Each structure stands twice: as structure tokens, then as C-alpha cells.
């Protein structure tokens, strides 16, 4: 089975959902022994974001209508993350444009280390206050998961990966994938949101038990 996950590396619910999906997947594979292939697809929450980072609190204040509303949102996602064993440091998080990160994830997929890079990027953003739009930082994170630094730097300094990112974004738009995270199972079932682990287990079981053409549909 193939599960494609449309998400952004600066989306708090995407990181929370990642942990919940991993828990549900673990339950499923332990019970069935089946192999599930995971691929991460790009989604940009703010494609117009500048390449230089800015404190995420400022971004949230503009988006949600002031400091008080932003504080409520940040507190909520921090609490939800803690319930999944994640330590969010939204007080130091730096929001930046994520196009380069998604392009690097394309390269990582070609070198079988995409899952590791996705986790590293999210950790860097949510817990370390890193600027994941910075080229040197991206090259460093790539090296940590096995990408050759010279290869990664050359990739990011070129136009490589832009076509693949654009195609994934176009697929999402054409198929109504408008919120993230969204999990797409064998291009037949789309599940939006950071669902509970047991929901993911149930969907995996359902998709494995049914056959059908490649046609994206919503779950029951």
C-alpha cells in the first residue's frame, strides 16, 4: 500500500498528525505484517512567505487577529503536541518560505531518506527555532540523514525539484486537497486532519481489504 501525505514542514497539525499516523500504522503493521510505503508531498501554507525568517508569533498575530488570539492558538497546538510526546517551542519558532525545504524532500525521496529528512526538518522548526528556509541549514539537515552536502547544495542552488513540487501542488488543488495534513491511501481514499491513531488503523485496514480503480474519494 502507498500512503502519500500532503503536508507542510511548518504546519503544527502536520507534525501532530505525523505522530498519530505513525502510531496507527504501527498497530496495523504489527497485526498484519503488511508493508506500507510512505511518501511526503508538498503543501505550502504560505507560498508568499519571504525567504528570510520571522518569529512565528508575529505571523500568528497577523493571521488570527492579535496577540491574545495568537496566544490561544499557540497554546492549543503546544498542548496537543505534548500529548503526542512532542515538545513545541513556538516561542522561538521562525517562519520562513518552505519551497526550498520541499524541493530538498524531492531529492531525499530519490535517495531513500525522505522520511528521515521530513522528521528532521519538523524537529528543527518546532523544537529548535531553526530557519528552515536557510540554504546552509537545509544542506546540514540533509547531511544528517545521508544526503551528500555538495549534491544537496547544488540541487538547491539550481531549479531542481521545482517541477515535482509544482505537480504535487497541482494534484492537490485538482483533487480538493485544501487542508493539511491530508493522507491519501493508494490514490483511492483521502483522510484530512490529524486524526486519532485508531482512525488511521481503521482506514489502513479498510483500504487493504478493498480493491478498486485509482480514483480519489473521501472516506465514509
Residue range 201-216, pLDDT digits in tens: 999 999 999 987 666 6
Query: How does pLDDT run across 13-28, given as a tens digit for each residue?
Result: 999 999 999 999 999 9
Distances from the Cα of 119 to the Cαs of 15, 73, 144, 158, in angstroms? 8, 23, 11, 24
Spell out a b/e string for 48-74, using b for 16 or more CB atoms within 10 Å of the CB, else e: ebeeebeebbebbbeeeeeeeebeeeb
In the predicted model, is pLDDT for residue 31 greater than 90? yes
> Could you tell me the pTM of the whole model?
0.94
Query: How does pLDDT run across 100-110, given as a tens digit for each residue?
Result: 999 999 999 99
pLDDT of residue 53: 83
CATH number of this structure's domain 2-209 = 3.40.30.10
Which position has the grid cell 529548535?
128
Contact 124, 140 (CB under 8 A): no
Amino acid at each position: 500500500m502507498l500512503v502519500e501525505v500532503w503536508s507542510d514542514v511548518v504546519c503544527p497539525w502536520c507534525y501532530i498528525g505525523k505522530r498519530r499516523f505513525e502510531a496507527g500504522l504501527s498497530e496495523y503493521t504489527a497485526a498484519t505484517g503488511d508493508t506500507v510505503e510512505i511518501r511526503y508531498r508538498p503543501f505550502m501554507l504560505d507560498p508568499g512567505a519571504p525567504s528570510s525568517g520571522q518569529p512565528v508569533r508575529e505571523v500568528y498575530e497577523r493571521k488570527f487577529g492579535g496577540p491574545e488570539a495568537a496566544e490561544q492558538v499557540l497554546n492549543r497546538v503546544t498542548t496537543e503536541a505534548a500529548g503526542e510526546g512532542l515538545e513545541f517551542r513556538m516561542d522561538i519558532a521562525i517562519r520562513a518560505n518552505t519551497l526550498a525545504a520541499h524541493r530538498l524532500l524531492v531529492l531525499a525521496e530519490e535517495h531513500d531518506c525522505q522520511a528521515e529528512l521530513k522528521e528532521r526538518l519538523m524537529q528543527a522548526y518546532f523544537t529548535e527555532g531553526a530557519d528552515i528556509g536557510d540554504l546552509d541549514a537545509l544542506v546540514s539537515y540533509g547531511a544528517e540523514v545521508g544526503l551528500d552536502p555538495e549534491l544537496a547544495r547544488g540541487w538547491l542552488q539550481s531549479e531542481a525539484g521545482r517541477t515535482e513540487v509544482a505537480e504535487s501542488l497541482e494534484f492537490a488543488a485538482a483533487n480538493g486537497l485544501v487542508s493539511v495534513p491530508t493522507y491519501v491511501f493508494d490514490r483511492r481514499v483521502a483522510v484530512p486532519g490529524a486524526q486519532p491513531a485508531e482512525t488511521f488503523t481503521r482506514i489502513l485496514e479498510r483500504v487493504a481489504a478493498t480493491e478498486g480503480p485509482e480514483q480519489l474519494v473521501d472516506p465514509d
